[in-house]
Amino acid sequence: MPELHAMFVHAHPDDESSKGAATMARYAKEGYRVSVVTCTDGAAGDILNPAMDRPGVVDRMVSIRREELERALQILGVNEQFDLGYRDSGYVEDFDGDGTKLADDCFFNVPTEQATGRLVEIIRAERPEVLVTYPPGGGYPHPDHIRCHDICAAAFDAAADASAYPEAGQPWQVRKLYYVGAFNRSKVEALHQACLQRGIESPFGEWLERWDPDETDPSTTHVDVGEYLATRSQALLAHATQIDPDGMWFRVPDDLVREIHPWEDFQLGRSEVRSDLPEASLFAGLE
């Protein structure tokens, strides 16, 4: 097996387990090199699991979320993780890009060039063929997800440019850049209907009512992860402060997801190699 390397760049501890986690588990099991870059410390995360709403948890949020991340990565079989080390910006309702609503030293407000340079240094040292992050706009309007996309897209170009960040090591050309899509309309509709047919309370009804019916699915790449959905769920549950095991997302059994939509979906954002679309692998065109 060629030692091809996919690097997943995420905003917070727990994002790696909710977006593309089953793909990471599959590739790690198959012998590919898989790594995770975490941009922030997760300090602004709320306690979303009532069982973890205990004295002292908020005071130790950073260290607890670090421990949760380590457990999740062990479950996924990923043994390489890198921190950019920035302060969690926190979630802001109806965020419009106004950084003055956030702490001055949070990830969103640090100079983009600085954060890009840190990521470029990691890319040049570790030399991934594939980068995976969020789509433009972050996938949803969280300041850290927006900035995570921005620096990853910039680092894709800068890492290969000898004139950019010359102190960050020898240039390296990443071959492919992907945007992870946790959900698309066709997937959500299929799962919603399957839940209704089986008498399961669907978590997707209100979401579909708000969804633009004219929105198209940008996915180009569908990785079969049916055998790794349970592993993904276990990794999610390792983030005990953030994930309520009795929450709505666990109403839909992994077996049902495997039957209806056993793929994780990605959008090919940039590529330096030729591959036929749709793809079944992030490494299409590289093997």
In the predicted model, what is the mean pLDDT of residues 33-49?
Answer: 96
The residue with tokens 């594939």 is: 130
State the Cα–Cα distance between residues 9 and 22, nearest whole angstrom.
Answer: 15
Q: Which of 75, 8, 22, 16 is nearest to 227 (CA)?
A: 22
Pairing of strands 5-10, 130-133: parallel
Q: Are 132 and 8 in contact (CB under 8 A)?
A: yes
Identify whether 208 is part of a domain: no
Specify if 280 maps to a domain.
no
Residue 34 covered by a domain: yes
Cβ 43 vs Cβ 144: under 8 Å: no
Mean pLDDT of 58-65: 97
Band of residue 2 on the pLDDT scale cut at 50, 70, 90: low
Q: Is 51 helix (H, G, I), strand (E, B) or coil?
A: helix
Q: Is 272 exposed, middle or buried (0-12, 13-18, 19+ CB in 10 A)?
A: middle
Residue 192, in any domain of the structure: no
Distance in angstroms (rounded) separating the CA atoms of residues 170 and 148: 23
The answer to whether position 199 is within a domain reads no
Average pLDDT of the chain, as a whole number: 96
Q: How far apart are CA 182 and CA 145, in angstroms?
A: 13
Q: Are strands 130-133 and 221-224 parallel, antiparallel or unpaired?
A: unpaired
Task: Please tell me the distance from the alpha carbon of residue 223 to that of residue 279, in angstroms, as a whole number.
Answer: 8
Distance CA 36, CA 73 (A): 9
Across the beta sheet with 5-10, the strand order is: 81-86, 33-40, 5-10, 130-133, 176-181, 263-271, 221-224
- Nearest-10 crossing angle of helices 112-126, 143-158: 50
pLDDT tier at 262, thresholds 50, 70, 90: very high
Length of the chain: 287
Does residue 287 lie within any of the structural domains? no
Least confident of 48-52, 158-162, 181-185: 181-185
The CATH number given to whatever domain includes residue 253 is 3.40.50.10320
The model's pLDDT over 177-232, given as tens digits with 9 standing for 90+, comes to 999 987 888 899 999 999 999 999 999 999 899 988 888 899 999 999 999 999 99
Percent of the chain with pLDDT over 90: 91
Task: Convert the pLDDT of each residue in 16-26 to its tens digit.
Answer: 999 999 999 99
Number of structural domains the chain divides into: 1
User: Cα–chain-centroid distance for residue 83?
Assistant: 14
Whole-angstrom Cα distance, residue 47 to residue 215? Answer: 33
Give the pLDDT of residue 287: 84
Whether residue 279 lies inside any domain: the answer is no
Is residue 281 in some structural domain?
Answer: no
Asked whether the predicted pLDDT for residue 1 surpasses 60, the reply is no
Q: What is the pLDDT of residue 183?
A: 82
Read off the pLDDT of residues 104-143 as tens digits, 9 standing for 90 and up.
Answer: 999 999 999 999 999 999 999 999 999 999 999 999 899 9
Residue 100: which domain range? 5-185+218-271
